[in-house]
Chains A and B, each alone.
Chain A
Amino acid sequence: MSTVTTEPGVATARRPAPGRGKGSRGGPSFWFATPALAFFGLFALVPLVGVVVLSLMNWDGLGTPTWAGLDNWIRTFQDPVTRNAFVLTLQLTALSWLIQAPISLLLGVFMAGRQRYRALLSVLYFLPLLFSAAAVAIAYKSLLDPNFGIGSALGADWLSRDWLGDPDLAFFVVVWVIAWSFIPFHSLLYQSGVRQIPLSMYEAARLDGASTVRQFLSITLPQLKYTIITSSTLMIVGSLTYFDLIFVLTNGGPGNATRVLPLDMYLKGFRSYDMGGASVVAVILVFLGLTISLLLNRLSGAHRMESQMEGV
């Protein structure tokens, strides 16, 4: 009796499920994403569209914006300061990656070891990550002061150089300070990446007589592929938009020696009150950031997210 009455009930409850269509086949309902999309739309897409519109207008922060068409774009592309900023940004990005990626990879591998002294060192390496960029910049500014900085405190003349005031030096000092602040974070990524590599792989390699270097090159590096991609994307897109530390450390100076694109955007917008020109730079930055992260993702094949654990 009871089976007869429940049977159709179950059947009706089940029937609509396959009929709900394509959406349910790939995973949870699309509506799960609405809160996130609403926030993204409100705080990322709306301002973004606003900036694109503003890049086509002249506005000095007072009064009403007036339509300018492509004038701001033409002006910005012809502006030697912005061109210089563009080149500097690319240099900063490339140099930051070249310096930070190998060091954090090696440090991360080193920190992944389980020895006690390594754990202690890891804590020390980790410290720069706890400081805000503004604090780091102010501290470095004082330390590098040629008259009252660390050079004169220690009586070391070779340290008392015009680090932040010499156009040839300032850029490299900025690269160095950025590396100092960010290597700990990327080391942390690599450390956790390395710890996830199954030990059995190393055991097998050791049985085959592989040296430590060989193990690093043939197991650690390939296994860290996705960590390298994630870390590099963060580094590269991060350097493209890097602002606060440089702003406090040099404010783009001396001359225009450290005026990278984000700083150029800020100075144009909030010092010269050329909101149109600043918006053009902002749109360029968004475009560059998106393109580069998309390219990295495509070129590396990370979007396919294949498992690296096959056969383990």
Chain B
Amino acid sequence: MEIKVEGGGEFANASYTNVCNNVFRDVGLRSNIDWVYMYCNAAEHVFIISIKIGRAPSPVKVWDITLREGNKLRITKEEYAPKLLALLWDRYSGRVQQESRVIIRFELEEEEVAKLNELVVYDPKEDLTARMLDGIDRILPEGARVRYPIPSAQGKGITIIASENPISAEWKVKAKELVGRIASSGGGA
């Protein structure tokens, strides 16, 4: 992920680069974002943030997060355990039981087990937009509550203008210009 912050002064640019890095790591999007561009104009209180989503993460399947041990599954990535159990109980009800924290015992035919392994536990694309917007909300200054979104032409990103004042047409044009320039140069830094 490349990050470029402009317009805020030396300290603010470095600080917001750091903030962008940490926030997108927290929302789990660091490896899925190609670049982030941020423009800060504190004098007029206008902030522009633009994000380009790169490779969309692939869905997490049962075999990605478990190991088979006979008629048992050992969960190897525990953070997915609640979603996995909800999925299996919904599909197989009482034929699947949780023996311990990470062991799931099943009474299924071999064909069913093969299908079970291919079940999608979690598709990161489902909440990609929500996580991206959450990240942007955490980065933009809290006082800049007036927002104007500009979706990208290819649907692979978003630009948001934020301010505490009404956003003028001039800034909308300028935001498009700035983001267009960054996109044509191939990214952030």
Q: Note whether A and B form a binding pair.
A: no
Interface residues of A (CB under 8 A from B): none
